[in-house]
Structure 1
Amino acid sequence: MARTRKGLIAAAGALGLAALVLTGCSNGNPLSSDDSGSTGSSKTITIGSAAFPENEILAYIYADALDNAGVKTAVKPNIGQRDRYIAALKSGEIQLVPEYTGNLLQFLDASATATSSDDVYAALQAATKSGGSGKLDADKAEVLEQSPGQDADSYNVTKKFSDDNNVKSLADLKNVTTPLKVGANPEFATRPYGIPGLKSTYGVDATLTPISDSGGPNTLKALLDGDVQLADIYSTTPSIKQNDLVTLADPEHLIGAQNVVPLIATASASSKVTDTLNKLSAKITTDVLIDLNTKSSVDKQSAQQIAKDWVKANGF
C-alpha cells in the first residue's frame, strides 16, 4: 500500500492547507518565507509538514517542544508531497520536517534494500549525508534519532481469529489450515510485501480480495464480517484499537520499517535542538501515533491543540 492512502484523511489536512497556519499567522503560500526563518542559520527554525494530519501534528509537537526549550520556531503545515517539502528543506525555506525512515530512504536511494528498523536507519543516515543523488545537498542535512513508533503497512486479524488459531505473527500463519484471504488494495497482488512476500518469506499461501480503500472502512468491514481473514491497514490507524484488532508481528521484516524520524538542516541541529528532539522521539511509539490520530480523525481536535496537550503531558 503506497502512502497515497493519506488522501483518505487529507481532507482534514486540506482545511489546514486553506488556513496555512504559520505559528498562528495566516500565509497564502505554504512555501513562502519570512525574515525569521528562511535560512538554516536563522535563529528561527521553520518546521514543515506533509499534507496529512499525523505529520502536521508531529510538526506542531516538534515546534511546541522546541519553543519550550527556548528555541524560536515557525510552522508551515501541509506543504504537500515529499518532493515538495524536501525541496523546501534543500532551499532553506524550512529547516526541519517529521519523516518516515523507509519512505525517505527509498526517495533518496531507490536501490536501497534494507527493511529492518536498524538497517533502514543506518542506510538512511548514509543516504542523507551523501545528499541522495542531489535531492539534498551533501553534508547539509541529517536525521536525528528515530522513534520506536512506525506508520507502516501492517497485517491485521480479529482477536477471535488470533485466539482461535493461535496466531500472533505472520510466521504463525503457516499453521492455519483454512484458506486465507487478504483484504487490501489491488496492487497487493504483486507488491513484494503482499501476496508474493507471504509465500516467499513465510511460506504462507493466501489469495487477495481487492478492496480499493487503502485499509479504510470497506477493508475493515470485510475483516470484521469474516469475508477476509487478514487486512492490510496502516499501523497508526485508529480502527485497529477501536476494534481490538491484532497486528501480526513481522519477525522477518517483510514490510520495510517506517519509523518516525526528524530530518533537519545540519546548520540548525544545535545541541539544544538535537537533545530536545531526541528525547521527544524516544516517547513517540506506535500507540502514541494511534492516539494522536484518534484525537484528530475521531475527536476532531486541531493539530495545534493535540500537539500542545501531548507536549504538556509529556513534560516538554
Structure 2
Amino acid sequence: MRRSLIIRTTAVAATAALALTACGGGGGSPLSSGSGGSAAPSSTIIVGSANFTENSILAEIYAQALQAKGITVEKKLSIGSREAYYPGLQDGSIDLIPEYTGVLLQYIDKTAKETSADDVYAALQKALPANLTVTDKSAAEDKDAVVVTKETATKYNATSIADLAPNCGQLTFGGPPEFQTRPDGIPGLKNTYNCTFKDYKSLDAGGPLTIAALKNGDIQAADIFTTDPSITQDGFVALADPKNNFAAQNVVPLINKAKATPAVTAVLNAVSAKLTTDELINLNATAAGPTKPAVDVVAKDWLTKNGLI
C-alpha cells in the first residue's frame, strides 16, 4: 500500500466497503489484547495483518495454509498501519505479516533508492533487523497510485503524475494520514514530480471514505492501491508513475527469523509461488462483491482452488 503502509502497497483499500469493517477492528489494538504483548510459544505462529481487506485476506491465507500443515497459529488481524504493527514484529507479539517490498524497505531505510522488483527485494533482505526475515516474494504486486476521475484526467490531459504535476496546486488530495509523511507519499510526489497539492484530506487507506470523496468531488486525487477493484468499477484513472516514485511492491511474508523453520518457510513459499497480481485483484473483487464474504472464507476458497489445503 498497499503500501508505505508504510506501506504500504498497497495497501486495499479498494476493497472498498470491507476496508474498515472486516479489517478495521473496533475497540482496542489487537496487540494490546490477549497475550498482552508477550511472545508466543516457539511452536505457535502469531499472524497479524494491517487494517485493510487485502492484507487481512493474505494473512488468512498464510494462517490457514500453515494450519493445514499442522502448524499452530494465532491471529491478530486488522492491527493498523505499519507504524502500528511493526513494533509488534520487533517485540515478538506478532510473528508473521503480509508485507509489500518497496514500502517496507523505505520504512526501514528512508534513503533507499531501489525501484525494480529484484533490486528492492535484495536491498530489503540486507536492511531487515537481525530478528526478522522475508521468505520468497510473490509475483503479486500492489502499489500505491495517484488516482483521479476520468473527468479530472481529461480536464488536465493527464495520463501520468508528470502530466498532472503543473496543476497539483489546484487540487485537493485524499489518503490515509500516514501518506502525508511517508517518503513515497506527499514528500515523494513533491520531490519527484514537483507536485504540491492545494490541500490534503486525511481519510482511509483507499477504502470507502476515499472512494466516496473522489466520486463526489471532495477530493480530486487520491492514494488508492492498484489492485483496488473500484478503479475499474468506478471508471477512475490510475496515473502512470514514469519516474518510479512508488517502488516495486511485491507481496512478501515478513516473519520472525526464529519462527521461520523449514516447514513454515516451505508453506509460505508455496503460497508466494501461486500469488499473482491478477489473483490479488480477484481476491479483492470477491471480498467487495455483492455477498461480501468474510476474509477467512475468501482465503479458504483461494487456497482450495490452488491446491494448498
With normalisation by structure 2, the TM-score equals: 0.71
CA distance in 2, matches of 1:30, 1:236: 33
**1:264 lines up with 2:252 in the alignment:** no
SS in 1 for 2:278: helix
Q: Is the 8 A contact 2:156 2:167 kept in 1?
A: no
**1:185 lines up with 2:177 in the alignment:** no
Q: 2:302 aligns with which of 291, 299, 310?
A: 310
Q: Is the 8 A contact 2:53 2:284 kept in 1?
A: yes
Q: Is the 8 A contact 1:170 1:250 kept in 2?
A: yes
Deviations 1:179-225 (A, max 9, x none): 7876623959x9344255335xxxxxx784646246522224449xx
Deviations 1:259-306 (A, max 9, x none): 221111222222232222122123333333333333334543212111
What is the match of residue 20 of structure 2? Answer: 10
**1:275 lines up with 2:244 in the alignment:** no
**1:86 lines up with 2:90 in the alignment:** no
Q: Is the 8 A contact 2:148 2:214 kept in 1?
A: no
Q: 1:235 aligns with which of 223, 226, 230?
A: 226
What is the match of residue 72 of structure 2? Answer: 72
Residue type of the alignment partner of 2:189: G
What is the match of residue 29 of structure 1? Answer: 33
Unaligned residue ranges in structure 2 (runs of 5+): none
CA distance in 1, matches of 2:12, 2:256: 26
Q: Is the 8 A contact 1:182 1:231 kept in 2?
A: no
Deviations 1:225-245 (A, max 9, x none): xx96x6542223221121344
Kindly tell me: are residues 197 and 84 of structure 1, through their superposed partners in 2, closer, same or farther at Cα, counting changes over 3 Å? closer
Residue type of the alignment partner of 1:184: F
Q: Is the 8 A contact 2:125 2:134 kept in 1?
A: yes
- Between the two proteins, the alignment pairs up a number of residues equal to 283
* Identity rate, percent: 38
Give the CA deviation at 1:127: 1.1
Residue type of the alignment partner of 2:96: L
CA distance in 1, matches of 2:186, 2:24: 29
Residue type of the alignment partner of 1:303: V
Unaligned residue ranges in structure 1 (runs of 5+): 21-26, 132-137, 200-205
Kindly tell me: are residues 166 and 179 of structure 1, through their superposed partners in 2, closer, same or farther at Cα, counting changes over 3 Å? closer
What is the match of residue 194 of structure 1? Answer: 189
Give the CA deviation at 1:58: 1.3
CA distance in 2, matches of 1:80, 1:155: 22
Of structures 1 and 2, the one scoring higher in RCO (CA 8 A, sep 6+) is 2
Question: Rg larger in 1 or in 2?
Answer: 1
**1:95 lines up with 2:95 in the alignment:** yes
